[in-house]
Chains A and B, each alone.
Chain A
Amino acid sequence: MRKIKSVSDLEKWREDIIKKQKGYEMVVSVCGGTGCHAYGCKKVRDQFAKGIKQNGFHKKIRLRFTGCRGFCERGPIVTIQPQGIFYQRVQEKDVPLIITETVGQGKIIERLLYEDSNTKRKVDSEKEIPFYKAQHRLVLGNNGLIEPTKIEDYIGIGGYRALTKALFKMESHQIISEIKASGLRGRGGAGFPTGKKWEDCRKAPGNTKYVICNCDEGDPGAYMDRSLLEGNPHSVLEGMIIGAFAIGAKQGFIYVRHEYPLACKNAETAIQQARKVGLLGKNILGSGFDFDVEIAKGGGAFVCGESTALIASIEGRVGEPRSKQIHTVTRGLWEKPTNLNNVETWANVPLIINQGSQWFYSIGTENSKGTKIFSLVGKVKNTGLVEVPMGITLKEIIFDIGGGQQDGRRIKAVQTGGPSGGCIPASLFDLSIDFDSLTEAGSMMGSGGMIVMDEGTCMVDVAKYFVHFLQEESCGKCLPCREGLKRMGEILDRITEGKGNDEDLSLLEELAEVVADTSLCGLGKTAPNPVLSALRYFRPEFEAHIHQKRCPAGVCTPLIQYSISEVDCTGCGACAKICPTQAIKGEKKQSHLILAEICSKCGSCKDVCQANAVMVQ
């Protein structure tokens, strides 16, 4: 790897890289995101490497192990360029055929293509797949074009060009004005204007300042930060260097969750490469600007996503938030002015610098600009990461991109904003999403988790889940959050056990108000949202639990009983085979029976029964 000391060095290197890449006739990309890893993509990659070499293709074919491509549910994903062929659910055994047929002779293997479930038509390119069609992949799109552990790939697609522009053609105040003019708001959840934050930090007195990248993605159901840092770490680094230059910081930190080992590894590799070539360290590209980045690992505490708790954690202390009367931009890490942004926010910065604030400003709604990455998960057909312009409706995301319901059960709500957000009912799916509209609907943007729920999801159970989640994750510093959530959890436990009474709902609402009004940090202040939104939109479900001692979704185990309809049972035995507790008895071709005392109420039998004979009461 060469040392780059000037802009011309970088451009020369870029030319060389592009020239070398043009020498390849074909690029085979295997997705190496965490989702695809679970489906065995590493074996697929290894098999390709072996096969390409054996067939003597290694000089004309480039094999690339990319970051997450978003359509995780269909993994492992393999794409072939320049033809743009998109293969899904590729297994190790398919590789030799792909090499001889597609790579060798340019033939498409029908079986590995994506089938549009509506038209039953096979789709051969990524652009035509409904999941990708409505997306606008500005930030995430590059994941498919580069290998995250190779800085050359990032430079080859124009990487670090925004940095040279910022360092040599712009003054720091101009960079801040540009970010302000773009309308970029923090992607971590709260949506604070990024340019304003940078400006405040720049103006804060003191010579030592810090920038931090927050990748403590604790929000359950969201994994876009993980995929960005894993799949395109240099874009995040480039954003951080530009931000540090604008603010006047010489040191940065990337705070990564301990649960994300691959993100830690890829970010570390990117930092080392950038240091080696001179994009981090002293006198970056001969500009006289010094800046370096370190990785700080989290310890599995949700509250550390909150800025002051995160800072305490980097300092090596217990992650307890502090009051924010004095903001972190004035007094943050080691009491010095500190600017903290989310991974996705940092990754947007090079785009804005490269293409200008006006371009970015033209995308999105009046007060929310640009795109947002959502993780579309839960009870929806196509799950994965989707990047869409702000202002798109929930309906478009869930039905056009997500393909609608998963297994015949009607979709009834979508949960956004994680434990600080709420559930939005299907009747509001025409809502165009941006920071403000989601807050108005009683939820929030959050980091972008979008968990689809259907008739098989009990909203009381979901509310209970979030309250227990937050109760466990509460740092315990302030009383309303520590005790209030515990009591709210107890009330919800009672309701789901069929022991609720008439006063419970008003008591819940009263408690929720106190917790929201009097807690110290964002965790407590927003903690009642999931309960309040569930009560606002799904009150009849709570009432059914309390008055009729019934769980309409068939989830709350103390209120349900599984049984088999004698009339409908065909005696196929599928249920008895899948039952993990051997609670189902019956002769072949005879009606089966569930032994209530052994049944663990897991519902596996209902999932497998073809005759719909398993009933939940």
Chain B
Amino acid sequence: MDLSSVDLIVDKYQEKRTALISILHDVQDRYKYLPDEALKMVASRLRMDINEIYGVATFYKSFSLIPKGKHSITLCLGTACHVRGGPKILRGVKKQLNIEPGQTTLDKQFSLNVVNCLGVCAIGPVMFLDGKFYGEMNPLKAKRMIEKINKNNKNKKKNGVKS
């Protein structure tokens, strides 16, 4: 793994221990998760105990220690989305992808996450798929969106395009 980016990130924050959360955000933006080697390197550069770094990385929900899938699905389960049927969508998606929130499918295509509020409450239930918000969702809409991505992937494979 190329860890030169980690060095640059730590340099950017002048090796400040107080910048740990910002550093971890930047590392995650670069690698899409927090790789073990990267955390060890952050620990050594900041002269901190690796346990302390793990403490922070596991306390905050935004950080993931496992690689993310190609497509990221985040379901909002804030109160407004909850009363408008968010949990029903979650049940359906879990069943369809056969994973629990926080996990990635075996084929590394999808990662599923739930979040306590995305702040788009007026148009709930909300799903955040690959960086885009989708409002007024229902179990069927979610199912079709995932099917569509799967279908596109299959077509790409068939046509010899690397996904």
B83 at the interface (CB under 8 A from A): yes
Q: How far is the CA of A473 from the CA of B122 in the complex (A)?
A: 23
Q: Are A38 and B83 in contact (CB under 8 A)?
A: no
Interface residues of A (CB under 8 A from B): 34-35, 37-39, 72-73, 75, 217-223, 226, 257-260, 296-302, 313-319, 375-379, 383-385, 415, 418, 449, 451, 453, 457, 462, 465-466, 469, 473, 475, 578-581, 600-604, 607
Task: Provide a sorted-by-A list of 16 A–B residue pairs whose CB atoms are within 8 angstroms.
Answer: A38-B133, A73-B122, A75-B123, A223-B117, A296-B21, A299-B62, A317-B56, A318-B59, A375-B80, A378-B79, A379-B83, A384-B122, A451-B121, A462-B82, A580-B143, A604-B138
Q: How far is the CA of A280 from the CA of B138 in the complex (A)?
A: 46
Q: How far is the CA of A378 from the CA of B122 in the complex (A)?
A: 7
Q: Are A34 and B121 in contact (CB under 8 A)?
A: no
B45 at the interface (CB under 8 A from A): no
Residues of chain A with a CB closer than 8 A to B60's CB: 298-301, 319
Residues of chain B with a CB closer than 8 A to A296's CB: 21-22
Smallest beta-carbon distance B116→chain A, Å: 5
Smallest beta-carbon distance B43→chain A, Å: 13
Query: For the complex, would chain B's binding face be called helix, strand, loop or mixed by DSSP majority?
Result: helix
Q: How far is the CA of A258 from the CA of B18 in the complex (A)?
A: 17
Q: Are A316 and B17 in contact (CB under 8 A)?
A: yes
Q: How far is the CA of A70 from the CA of B139 in the complex (A)?
A: 27
Q: Are A457 and B83 in contact (CB under 8 A)?
A: yes
Smallest beta-carbon distance A404→chain B, Å: 16
Q: Are B133 and A34 in contact (CB under 8 A)?
A: yes
Query: Contacts A377-B80, A378-B80 known; A220 to B117 CB distance under 8 Å?
Result: yes
Q: Are B80 and A72 in contact (CB under 8 A)?
A: no
Query: Contacts A316-B17, A604-B138 known; A379 to B88 CB distance under 8 Å?
Result: no
Query: Contacts A38-B134, A260-B119 known; A578 to B140 CB distance under 8 Å?
Result: yes
Q: How far is the CA of A567 from the CA of B138 in the complex (A)?
A: 28
Closest to A452 in B: B83
Smallest beta-carbon distance A329→chain B, Å: 21
Q: Are A383 and B123 in contact (CB under 8 A)?
A: yes
Q: Are B133 and A37 in contact (CB under 8 A)?
A: yes
B115 at the interface (CB under 8 A from A): yes
- Give the contacting residue for A35; candidates B20, B21, B123, B143; CB below 8 A: B123
Residues of chain A with a CB closer than 8 A to B122's CB: 35, 72-73, 223, 375-377, 383-385
The 7 closest A-B pairs by CB, nearest first: A299-B60, A220-B78, A72-B122, A300-B61, A38-B133, A223-B119, A316-B20
Residue of B60, B63, B95 contacting most chain A CB atoms (<10 Å):
B60
Q: How far is the CA of A607 from the CA of B25 in the complex (A)?
A: 41
B8 at the interface (CB under 8 A from A): no
Contact with A along B88-114 (1 / 0, CB 8 A): 100110010000000000000000000
- Give the contacting residue for B78; candidates A221, A600, A602; CB below 8 A: A221
Q: How far is the CA of A222 from the CA of B95 in the complex (A)?
A: 30
Interface residues of B (CB under 8 A from A): 16-22, 24-25, 55-56, 59-63, 77-85, 88, 91-92, 95, 115-124, 126, 132-135, 138-140, 143
Given A259-B115, A317-B56, A457-B83; 19 other pairs, CB 8 A cutoff: A34-B133, A73-B122, A221-B78, A226-B119, A298-B62, A299-B21, A300-B60, A300-B62, A300-B115, A302-B116, A316-B19, A316-B20, A318-B56, A377-B80, A378-B83, A418-B79, A466-B79, A578-B138, A602-B91
Residues of chain A with a CB closer than 8 A to B61's CB: 299-301
Residues of chain A with a CB closer than 8 A to B21's CB: 296-299, 313, 316
Residue of A258, A299, A314, A600 contacting most chain B CB atoms (<10 Å):
A299
Residues of chain A with a CB closer than 8 A to B119's CB: 34, 217, 222-223, 226, 257, 259-260
Closest to A261 in B: B131
Residues of chain A with a CB closer than 8 A to B59's CB: 299, 301, 318-319, 475
Q: Are B82 and A465 in contact (CB under 8 A)?
A: yes
Residues of chain A with a CB closer than 8 A to B17's CB: 316
Residues of chain B with a CB closer than 8 A to A299's CB: 21, 24-25, 56, 59-63
Residues of chain B with a CB closer than 8 A to A383's CB: 80, 121-123
Query: Contacts A377-B122, A415-B79, A449-B79 known; A469 to B116 CB distance under 8 Å?
Result: yes
Residue of B123, B124, B126 contacting most chain A CB atoms (<10 Å):
B123
Q: Are A297 and B22 in contact (CB under 8 A)?
A: yes
Residue of A377, A580, A601, A607 contacting most chain B CB atoms (<10 Å):
A580
Smallest beta-carbon distance A506→chain B, Å: 27
- Give the contacting residue for A220; candidates B91, B92, B116; CB below 8 A: B116
Q: How far is the CA of A528 from the CA of B135 in the complex (A)?
A: 31
Residues of chain A with a CB closer than 8 A to B123's CB: 35, 38-39, 72-73, 75, 383
Closest to B135 in A: A38
Q: Are A223 and B120 in contact (CB under 8 A)?
A: yes
Residues of chain A with a CB closer than 8 A to B116's CB: 218, 220, 302, 469, 473
Q: Are A600 and B92 in contact (CB under 8 A)?
A: yes
Q: Are B55 and A318 in contact (CB under 8 A)?
A: yes
Residues of chain B with a CB closer than 8 A to A218's CB: 116-117
Q: How far is the CA of A465 from the CA of B79 in the complex (A)?
A: 8
Residues of chain B with a CB closer than 8 A to A581's CB: 92, 95
Q: How far is the CA of A314 from the CA of B17 in the complex (A)?
A: 11
Q: Are A258 and B62 in contact (CB under 8 A)?
A: yes
Q: How far is the CA of A37 from the CA of B134 in the complex (A)?
A: 9
Residues of chain B with a CB closer than 8 A to A219's CB: 117
Query: Contacts A220-B78, A220-B80 known; A258 to B121 CB distance under 8 Å?
Result: no
Q: Are A379 and B84 in contact (CB under 8 A)?
A: yes
Q: How far is the CA of A226 from the CA of B117 in the complex (A)?
A: 12
Q: How far is the CA of A377 from the CA of B79 in the complex (A)?
A: 9
Residues of chain A with a CB closer than 8 A to B19's CB: 316
Smallest beta-carbon distance B73→chain A, Å: 15
Q: Are A602 and B139 in contact (CB under 8 A)?
A: yes
Closest to B142 in A: A580
Residues of chain A with a CB closer than 8 A to B124's CB: 377
Residues of chain B with a CB closer than 8 A to A580's CB: 92, 139-140, 143
Q: How far is the CA of A385 from the CA of B117 in the complex (A)?
A: 16
Residues of chain A with a CB closer than 8 A to B121's CB: 220-223, 375, 377, 383, 449, 451
Residues of chain A with a CB closer than 8 A to B92's CB: 580-581, 600, 602
Smallest beta-carbon distance B142→chain A, Å: 8
Residues of chain A with a CB closer than 8 A to B83's CB: 378-379, 451, 453, 457, 462
Residues of chain A with a CB closer than 8 A to B20's CB: 316-317
Smallest beta-carbon distance A493→chain B, Å: 14
